[in-house]
Amino acid sequence: MAKHIFVTGGVVSGLGKGLTASALGALLRARGIRVTMQKLDPYLNVDPGTMNPFEHGEVYVTADGGETDLDLGHYERFIDADLTKDSNATAGSIYSAVIAAERRGEYLGKTVQVIPHVTDEIKRRIERVVHDDVDVVITEVGGTVGDIEILPFLEAVRQYRLDVGRENCFFLHVTLVPFIGPSAEQKTKPTQHSVTELRGRGIQPDAIVCRSEAPLSDDLKRKISNLCDVPVSGVVNAADASSIYLIPLVLHEEGLDDVVCAQLGLVGTEPDLSPWRTIVGRISAPRAATRIAVVGKYVSLPDAYLSVVEALNHASFELGARIDLDWVQAEDIEGMLAAARLEAYDGIVIPGGFGNRGIEGKIAAAGYAREHRLPCLGLCLGMQVMTIEYGRSVLGLEHANSSEVDPSTPHPVIDLMETQRGVTDLGGTMRLGSYIAELVPGSKVAAAYGATVVKERHRHRFEFNPRYRSRFDDGAFVCSGVSPDGRLVEFIELRDHPFWVGTQAHPEFLSRPNRPAPLFREFLRAAMARAATRPAAEDVVDLTGEVRTLAGSDL
């Protein structure tokens, strides 16, 4: 029987439940224990696919096409495993299933209630990720204890412990121990109140992860242990770290994985944490600084591009680079502003997005990178604006555009997929999940991957219009990767450019801290080569006069 770890949070949101759960999963995997992970989200959207990035940050895509919470990206990066759409369940999807079952008459005319019908559906969602090849399921319960939306989930996991036996469940609660400046004290009262609230819902935590700015004293740990009825060994301190990739080492030093294994009767080897120590060592000793701009439309919320940031991080670990990152609002570089805004950088990334806001700025950025031989990586919409820019500026396709942005464009070089015409359900109009691409031998992308057949994840509605492909085949512009049937363009590049590469896919979703995404690695390598040609004393200064350095825990 699989063991279950339920991770809840209290006091405030944003404490890092997802990272705590991910780091614990990494520690168990390092012991040879087979782990899978899951997120239960209390919001009423069926999935985050139609949510504005400013609302919820990035939408992460699983291999089987699930549009999920961004925490699943952390899960996959830390445990190095592919999860599925079953690894994310929202209140919206759960209530939808319950209501649909009622309409089909499956409840035999009974009154449908939160208990037992909604809680039973939540428990079924937990069971979906239980398989014969899994020893431990780590389930993060989204939201904060005390929120009204979270109550059915807490009741469901309380019941679940009774269903499978107390010896098969572990409750981990993440709380805040704030530092009060005037009194110069760390306060445990918020943690006490949070645990009291949780216990009021019938759940006694087996361990508490205390988030804090500075390390907790042993006296404070004993106080929390005594007042929250948790063994001292189960009071774990996760003080602020300089990088998220330090967290597994921190939690191991605090003994969290030992406590979990002892209570659940998990038998594994002594954890091999050398890969994590190697990563941390590389983070702390970069050899060269490289200036990168992310030209996007959601740059005021970096979580909207979380996987892009982490993929850049991973590439920097392998290549020994320190990335000085600047977020550039696409709307700020429309027209003639591209040169003034982008000339300071060694490379630019143009990430994905939807809608027409900022499109002309992204097109201007792609053009500047092409003309000035600036390394440029275009992701999804980024590839599309690179195509538009080349069509306008080089091929003379006046007013070329995407039909998403301008339905009346005379040259829709980017157009809606034929199979999606007339579909009105926004949740059903996407090409989602992993797709195979065949790469042109000798191309930059084939060299980056070291292969001519690759698989990447997708999330988009519009494609390179195949009716224009013959016009783009001018010897300089290369459609360097296509679908196996040859219909869909997956990768583009310029033949005589240091690195001007776009992909319809999202390679950032497959990047891992010890195995960076090939396109990000080669993009950063090209940016580092450019950086090596500039005076070492120059600084990266944005329009506010700030120098920004990329660090895993900062973004």
Q: Distance between CA atoms of 227 and 186, rounded to whole angstroms?
A: 16
CA-closest candidate to residue 506, choices 517, 514, 497: 517
Task: Based on the residue annotation, tell me whether 360 is a catalytic residue of this protein.
Answer: no
E-state strands within 316-390: 321-329, 347-350, 376-379
Residue 524 contacts residue 346 (beta carbons within 8 Å):
no
Q: Distance between CA atoms of 206 and 142, rounded to whole angstroms?
A: 18
Query: What is the DSSP code (8-state) at residue 63?
Result: T
Please report the sign of the dihedral spanned by the C-alpha atoms of residue 437, residue 443, residue 449, residue 453: positive
E-state strands within 100-149: 136-141
Non-local CB neighbours of 241 within 8 Å, separated by 6+ positions: 247, 250, 553
For 308-322, letters b (16+ CB in 10 Å) and e give bbbbbbbbbbbbebb
Q: Distance between CA atoms of 34 and 52, rounded to whole angstroms?
A: 35
Query: What is the DSSP code (8-state) at residue 269?
Result: P
Q: Distance between CA atoms of 125 and 92, rounded to whole angstroms?
A: 13
User: How many other C-beta atoms lie within 10 A of the C-beta of residue 384?
Assistant: 31
541 alpha carbon, distance to own chain's centre:
27
- Identified catalytic residue from 310, 493, 508, 522: 508
CA-closest candidate to residue 484, choices 510, 506, 454: 454
Task: Based on the residue annotation, tell me whether 456 is a catalytic residue of this protein.
Answer: no
Strand-pair partners of 456: 435
Task: Based on the residue annotation, tell me whether 380 is a catalytic residue of this protein.
Answer: yes
- Identified catalytic residue from 380, 438, 479, 490: 380
Residue with tokens 């500039």: 534
CA-closest candidate to residue 245, choices 412, 380, 78: 78
Q: Distance between CA atoms of 498 and 374, rounded to whole angstroms?
A: 7
Q: Distance between CA atoms of 170 and 261, rounded to whole angstroms?
A: 10
- Identified catalytic residue from 4, 117, 252, 506: 506
Alpha-carbon distance values, 160 to 76, 165, 260 (Å): 25, 8, 18
Which positions are annotated as active-site residues? 380, 506, 508
